């Protein structure tokens, strides 16, 4: 088929032609802007039948406003000219549409669109792979930091017996005696202090496992929670506050 006017197939679903090129091919003597404005009075609307864009001029001057016309609009404009040239170009657009809607052309477009979608999918997959790799690296960098800060939080919230005794303002052995007498803790066969299970469940104590990778030694440490510290503060201090120190004998 002889090409009378260039048809743009960038949009696979909506081929279009340049309004200025159609104006020139029809041999219209009226200035393009005036002619196109008059054509729009027949009911054509931007966004449905055409859209505007700036075209480059061969002389390299200031870009001029052009319009991408749908093939149905271009056919109707040709008919409105009531000239032999208009009829000729209209027949050309009809043949373009027939070829465009042929089974072979439809299949070719479908394959082209499928290829484009496949390329987009490949790009998306590569982008996701890069993002995933980045997240993996970030996780490897941040995990030790997160573990470190978790450990700091635990250290601030949980205290051992010695530090708790300091907070209460008493000696460690005095505090241990209190815990044993009040049945909060007991000594196992090896003499190690252990909390009673019910007080662990109540949230007074928390057990933390620790191990030494070099020696292979592992054990469980008993730590006191904020709830436990407040409990002991309320119980321990009043009990010992009323105990007055023994008076020293006066020497004669």
Statement to judge: residues 235 and 162 lie in one domain: yes
d(CA 194, CA 174): 17
Asked whether residue 131 is domain-assigned, the answer is no
Asked whether residue 142 is domain-assigned, the answer is no
The residue with greater pLDDT, 7 or 241, is 7
The domain tally of the chain equals: 2
d(CA 188, CA 183): 13
Asked whether residue 246 is domain-assigned, the answer is no
**pTM for the structure as a whole:** 0.42
Asked whether residue 115 is domain-assigned, the answer is no
Asked whether residue 186 is domain-assigned, the answer is yes
Q: Which domain holds residue 48?
A: 16-101
Q: Which of the listed residues 101, 127, 143 is the one where a domain comes to its end? A: 101
Q: Which of the listed residues 35, 67, 101 is the one where a domain comes to its end? A: 101
Statement to judge: residues 167 and 95 lie in one domain: no
Residue 33 has pLDDT above 90, yes or no: yes
Statement to judge: residues 22 and 97 lie in one domain: yes
The residue with greater pLDDT, 141 or 232, is 232
């Amino acid at each position: 088929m002889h090409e009378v006017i260039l048809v743009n197939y960038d949009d696979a679903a909506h081929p279009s032609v340049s309004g200025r090129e159609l104006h020139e091919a029809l041999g219209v003597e009226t200035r393009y802007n005036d002619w196109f404005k008059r054509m729009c009075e027949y009911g054509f609307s931007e966004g449905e039948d055409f859209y505007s864009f700036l075209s480059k001029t061969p002389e390299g001057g200031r870009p001029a406003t052009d319009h991408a016309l749908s093939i149905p609009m271009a056919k109707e404009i040709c008919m409105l000219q009531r000239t032999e040239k208009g009829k000729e170009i209209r027949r050309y657009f009809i043949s373009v549409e027939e070829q465009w809607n042929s089974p072979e052309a439809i299949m070719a477009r479908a394959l082209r669109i499928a290829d484009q979608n496949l390329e987009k999918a490949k790009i998306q997959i590569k982008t996701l792979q890069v993002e995933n790799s980045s997240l993996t690296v970030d996780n490897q960098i941040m995990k030790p930091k997160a573990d470190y800060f978790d450990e700091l939080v635990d250290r601030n919230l949980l205290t051992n017996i010695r530090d708790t005794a300091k907070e209460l303002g008493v000696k460690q052995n005095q505090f241990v005696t209190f815990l044993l007498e009040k049945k909060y803790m007991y000594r196992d066969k090896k003499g190690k202090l252990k909390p009673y299970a019910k007080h662990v469940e109540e949230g007074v104590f928390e057990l933390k496992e620790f191990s030494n990778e070099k020696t292979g030694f592992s054990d469980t440490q008993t730590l006191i929670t904020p709830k436990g510290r407040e409990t002991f503060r309320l119980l321990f201090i009043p009990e010992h506050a009323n105990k007055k120190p023994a008076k020293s004998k006066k020497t004669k």
